[in-house]
Amino acid sequence: MQKKKVRNFTVVIEKDEDGYYVGYVPSIMGCHKQGRTLDELMKNIREAIELCLEVEKKEIGNEKFIGVQTVEVSL
């Protein structure tokens, strides 16, 4: 039996105006989910990543998280 490959993905998490946690994976276009709690979000986003990888049927490139920056804009 072939051993499964394990990968780590960066998930960006925000909280929307309704109080839901929303997460997306920058390295997989269209891969996003939400949850009422962080635990629910992480379960949902893990399933979404697995589904996206299954549908894409190709290797996703290695990503390197750089960081988050704040940008000041005059209004």
pLDDT digits (tens, 9 = 90+) for 32-46: 999 999 999 999 999
Domains and CATH numbers, the chain: 12-56 (3.30.160.250)
**Quick one: residue 57, left, alpha or beta (phi over 0 = left, psi -120 to 50 = alpha)?**
left
Which pLDDT score, from 0 to 100, does residue 15 have?
Answer: 97
The answer to whether 31 and 23 are in contact (CB under 8 A) is no
Which pLDDT score, from 0 to 100, does residue 2 have?
Answer: 75
pTM of the entire predicted model: 0.77
Length of the chain equals 75
- Over the chain (75 residues), what is each successive 10-residue block's mean pLDDT? 82 96 92 98 97 79 77 93
